[in-house]
Amino acid sequence: MKAAICYEQGKPLVVEDGVICDPPGKGEVKIKVVATAVCRSDLHFIGGLFPSHGPGVAGHETSGYVEEIGEGVTRVEPGDAVCVIAGTVGCGMCPSCIAGHRMMCMNRSRPVPHQHTKDGKDLSPLAGPVAGFAEYTTVAEYQLVKLPEDMPVDVAAVISCAVITGFGAVLTAGVKLFESVAVLGTGAVGLNAIQGSAYCGAHPVVAVDTQDQRLAAAKQFGATTTINPKKVDDIVAAVREATGGNGADYVFVTVTVSDDEVLRQAVEMSSRQGVIVRIAVGGGMGPPDPNAPPPDIEWARGLAQMGASRRVMFTMMGSSNIIVDIPRYVSLYKAGRLKLDELINARYPLDQINEAIEYMSSGKALRTLVMMQ
């Protein structure tokens, strides 16, 4: 079988045949991959922003069909269409799971197994335990959510990360009718934070991005106001003005590797009772650098402003409960109330994955699908 292998970070992927996919062990399922979208987190590993150890296979926004099930698997059977999630569905038994926080399952210490080998050498899964840039992959049963037969399987791939991360963060933050929202960064995750906010009845919904064409997409997904920070003197003042002078009740930060300056702005553009939700993957993926300068915590002073009661929260894949949430998203899509097709700008065959990555890196794409079948 073929897979796109990252031999060296910062270099193009190498699509090679002769890759061996592990058969499913106990509690595991072999998937015939249909589509894997290119997510920014993949680019961070492929490009070298985040560390990797040896050659590997990225891709985690994946959908496909169950090819084979391992011992003890009960929730899916061969032929089922599934979303494959990089996070965990959760064991369902530990205190975190029982409290409804399945992404925070306390029993997820299981080491991430490799799924693929080439010429006897292990290929590490990059950007999550999926290794979806391959024709087949083997994952844990708890990473799967079954799809109904009438759901287009390739389209469902974008639910596996972009939707649960963006829309999920809105649900986790608890956005309500008429509360105001600002979304910083309108890639696929930001657009889902926008469509989630609009769905929850937020108003206004302010989209902030440096690319006008993505702001046009933001309007399509429910933004009521769009602001390009390059075209205003003061982005904080512009967002405050767009939210009636009060600041946004929720500021979703989806900007890649959000730095202290972005967080400071997010605090300053939030209302006094505002919630700042950091969605994007931040730094800190590697071991701490002993020579790094002390963090600039100036932005945090805004939190301590007299008379304010702001909160900062972080979400991991929207802190979604995917067994509950993914069927809901599928049902919304089928009812015409969730935009998924509009997120997908292009489809590339596996052999052209580097073109897909280039298109994604250009900032023009919302999501590109790499088609395995």
Alpha-carbon distance 97 to 104, whole Å? 7
Q: Of 242 and 366, which has the nearer Cβ to Zn ion?
A: 366
CB closer to Zn ion out of 41 and 138: 41
CA 3/CA 17 separation, integer angstroms: 7
Single-letter amino acid code for the residue at 202: A
Q: How many residues form the binding site for Zn ion (CB under 5 A)?
A: 9
Q: Is the dihedral of CA 284, 290, 292, 296 positive or negative?
A: positive
328 alpha carbon, distance to own chain's centre: 17
> Contact region for Zn ion (CB under 5 A) — 28-36, 48-56, 97-105, 319-327?
97-105
d(CA 282, CA 265): 16
CA angle (88 as vertex; 86, 93 as ends), nearest 5: 175
| Torsional class of 364: left (φ above 0), alpha (ψ -120 to 50), beta (otherwise) | alpha
91/112 with CB nearer Zn ion = 91
The count of C-alpha atoms lying within 13 angstroms of the C-alpha of 6, restricted to the half-sphere facing its C-beta, is: 25
Among 66, 69, 76, 97, binds Zn ion (CB under 5 A): 97
Least distance CB 230 / Zn ion (angstroms):
26
Task: By CB under 5 A, tell whether 34 contacts Zn ion.
Answer: no
Site for Zn ion in 35-64 (CB under 5 A): 39, 41
- For the CB of residue 324, give the shortest distance to Zn ion in the complex, in Å: 15
Q: Which of 64, 196, 200 is nearest to 132 (CA)?
A: 64
Pick the stretch among 86-94, 135-143, 318-326, 336-344 that binds Zn ion (CB under 5 A).
86-94
Answer yes or no: are the C-beta atoms of 61 and 126 closer than 8 Å: no
Give the integer Cα–Cα distance in Å for 163 and 339.
10
Choice between 34 and 239, CB closer to Zn ion: 34
Q: What is the smallest separation between the CB atom of 156 and Zn ion, expressed in angstroms?
A: 15
Give one DSSP letter per residue of 8-72, joined into a string: STTS--EEES-EEEPPP-TTEEEEEEEEEE--HHHHHHHHTSS---SSEE---EEEEEEEEE-TT
Q: Which residues pair with 276 in a beta bridge?
A: 251, 312
Options 2-10, 83-91, 170-178, 226-234: segment touching Zn ion (CB under 5 A): 83-91
In the set 20, 91, 316, 346, which binds Zn ion (CB under 5 A)?
A: 91
**In whole angstroms, what is the distance from residue 209 CA to residue 214 CA?**
7
Least Å distance, CB 30 to Zn ion, is: 22
| Closest among 241, 140, 190 to 40, alpha carbons compared | 190
By rule CB under 5 A, what string of x and - marks binding of each residue 281-320 to Zn ion? ----------------------------------------
Mark 204-243 with x for binding to Zn ion (rule: CB under 5 A) and - for no binding.
----------------------------------------
Taking the least distance from each CB to Zn ion, the nearer of 191 and 236 is 191
Instruction: Tell the smallest beta-carbon distance from residue 63 to Zn ion (Å).
Output: 13
Q: Is 104 in the site for Zn ion (CB under 5 A)?
A: no
> Segment contacting Zn ion (CB under 5 A): 33-41, 173-181, 212-220, 251-259?
33-41
As measured in angstroms, the least distance from the Cβ of 48 to Zn ion is 17
Tokens 């024709």 belong to residue: 135
**Interaction between residue 265 and Zn ion (CB under 5 A):** no
Half-sphere exposure of 365 (CA within 13 A, CB side): 21
The site map against Zn ion for 106-145 (x = CB under 5 A) is: -x--------------------------------------
Element (H, E) at 188: helix 188-199
Q: Which is nearer to Zn ion, 164 or 227 (CB)?
A: 164
Closer residue to Zn ion (CB): 37 or 206: 37
DSSP class of residue 49? S
If binding is defined by CB under 5 A, does position 105 make contact with Zn ion? yes
Q: What is the CA radius of gyration of the chain?
A: 20
196 binds Zn ion (CB under 5 A): no
Residues 151-170 contacting Zn ion, CB under 5 A: 161
Would you tell me which residues interact with Zn ion (CB under 5 A)?
Answer: 39, 41, 90-91, 94, 97, 105, 107, 161
